[in-house]
Chain A
Amino acid sequence: MSKDIRLLQGNESCSLGAIYAGCNFFGGYPITPSTEIAEEMALMLPREGGRFIQMEDEIAGIATVLGAAAAGAKAMTATSGPGFSLMMELLGYGCMAEIPCVIVNVQRGGPSTGLPTKGAQADVMQARWGTHGDHPTIALCPSSVEESFKLTVRAFNLAEKFRMPVILLLDEFIGHMREKMEIPGPGEMEIYNHPQPTCQPAAYLHYGDGSSVGGAYASLGSGYRFNITGLTHDQHGFPTGRADEIQWKMDRLRAKVEDHLAELIEVDQEFMDDAEIAVFSYGGAARTAQQAVREARAKGIKAGLVRPITLWPFPNQALAEVLRKVKTMIVAEISQGQLLGEVQRVNQFHTKVVPVQRYDGEMLTPTEVVNAIVEAAK
């Protein structure tokens, strides 16, 4: 069979990745710069027997996604800053009720309406802490059109396995960038679908032990009648005010991510074997950082790139190992320092941490990052 090679935007490859993963429901609301994802899904989903709905706002968009997912759909929504803000309450609902779904945030400049057509990377903390209360977060950040496809598939796999919303933290730069990519053939990438329960309905616990990660859980209308609520609940899914049950639920949510860090965290490293200066950068900015590191190497400077593919849970350990080794860590981002703060938190080694930031709606240039590397090498 001939290879399926296409020239695609990051937003388009995200949609194709969703279909590849078996997504059969999209609910959302149009917002720049994410709209191509909705448009592609509106076109592709009905062909595959899936369903697309454009709702009256982003709150309703994520609500339909959660409703459909609770009824067994593999569901997704896509949005950007203002819409992501509106989705925050129900993102927490998804965490609490343990409903798998994928939320794509194609980051644009903020705050408020900000810069609808210009990229940014300033929703890092919102992705982690935007909804109220303690909760687990999984956020993946693609740095290329191909990775946008593959991480969308991974986001669905993780959502199904970990029973929670997974955030695909794109940015406008990758969302609207066009690159060549090869679409994986059927079966080339693993697709994880959660197992269905096989017990008698009377014995079924929707939040039973072992169902938290990789376990079986039922859908509404599957013959297992259970309750789902955003209230803190017991193993049946019924609201509780009992301290032991509340503690159990909160520990269960925390353990989802904290007990599976090795499985969840992916970090890409380039030229790091002998690097004395590292650049830490993700998403669109990491493409600039990659070019800058290559240019610095051409100048004979021992520079390397550390690129988180998983942003949440934060790659504390991988980053600490790099910080222990290098002389200087440059943090390159399209934000006033949301990534920088995390690097400083992890830095216990008196390693010099240097920010390189832009937040004027433009992409960092390789020269800006190269200059910082050259300065650090002096």
Chain B
Amino acid sequence: MRMHPSYEMLRPGKKFPHVWCPGCGHGIVQGAIIRAVQKLGLPRDEMVMVSGIGCSSRMPVYVDFNSLHTAHGRAIAFATGVKLHNPKLHVIVITGDGDALAIGGNHFIHAARRNADLTVILMNNNIYGMTGGQYSPTTPIGKRASTAPYGTAERDFDPCALAQAAGAAFTARGVVYNAVELEKLIETALTRKGFSLVEAISPCPTLYGRLNKEGSAVKMLQWQKANTVNVKAAEKLPPDQLNGKIITGVFHDVETIPYTQIYNQIIQRAQASK
């Protein structure tokens, strides 16, 4: 019997079945991360997966890396400590829209500002899944949630634009429908120095889909397929044709000196003046 190529990177036994609902996109993101790591040949003893709280944040339990499942919103801050103490480690942060942008928003922008050398995979399902479908900072205005029974009154964040404005080195967005592109974006992000963000749009049929009458998991993926525009194609389209569309691809990619490298220079400076 041939084993699934991702199997060796997982923790079988007690850790499965996982908590994700049928039709959830998070498993596709997990698969894309594993394949990207395998493709780059990164040694898993040097991989640290750090997460916060929420559906997406359960991923580190399933993947056989060093794993640190932290408190709600704090993954990026914990990860900053891990990376700063041991810069040799590859630190991937797994987070969700509520975890990264609401309770963890402060850490998100400041990690981008100081260019902490982290690869952040933000799984955006536009809702709080684990607590039962409350609206998040990426729930589009007017959409329903269990705490917005008449639709939300709030505008949503664009995580990639937010990270770029705060100083991130690399920002990109993919959708789980296009798992191949998503995998490539994650692979590129893993090779970049400094703060890298990949926003992975991942449907939540159980809560967001049901509350907003978006149909089955398959229908939600079909909607992704029909409404996704690559950033290069989007550049040629007038703005009115991009309303309500998901733009994917790399938005920002600059060469930077990451925080840990600058801090190593500070250590040299301090030791020279000793």
Contacts and interface: CB of A to CB of B under 8 A. Distances in A.
A270 B107 CA distance: 49
Chain B interface size band reads 35 or more
Interface string B85-107: 11011000000000000000011
Contacts of B79: 67
B68 A47 contact: no
B14 interface: yes
Interface stretch (B59-67, B154-162, B170-178): B59-67
A230 B66 contact: no
Contact of B69 (A59, A221, A229): A229
A204 interface: no
How would you classify the secondary structure of chain A's contact residues: helix, strand, loop or mixed?
A: mixed
A238 interface: yes
Given A49-B267, A68-B82, A55 B89 contact: no
Contacts of A336: none
Nearest to B68: A228
Contact of A223 (B15, B45, B88, B267): B45
A63 B269 CA distance: 27
B89 A221 contact: yes
A25 B84 CA distance: 9
Contacts of A331: none
Contact of A64 (B48, B81, B270): B81
B204 interface: no
Given A66-B78, A68-B84, A230-B69, A225 B271 contact: no
A238 B67 CA distance: 10
A261 interface: no
For A51, A55, A67, the residue with the greatest tally of chain B CB atoms inside 10 Å of its CB is: A67
B144 interface: no
Nearest to A230: B71
B266 interface: yes
B78 A56 contact: no
Nearest to B19: A239
A225 B44 contact: yes
Given A46-B266, A66-B78, A67-B79, A220 B48 contact: yes
A172 B15 CA distance: 48
11 contacts: A47-B273, A51-B85, A56-B110, A67-B77, A71-B81, A89-B71, A221-B46, A221-B86, A225-B67, A227-B61, A227-B67
Interface of B: 14-15, 44-46, 48, 50, 60-61, 64-71, 74, 77-82, 84-86, 88-89, 106-107, 110, 263, 266-267, 269-271, 273-274
Given A63-B70, A225-B67, 17 more contacts: A24-B85, A27-B81, A46-B271, A49-B267, A56-B110, A60-B74, A60-B107, A63-B107, A71-B81, A71-B82, A221-B82, A226-B66, A227-B67, A228-B67, A231-B69, A238-B61, A239-B61
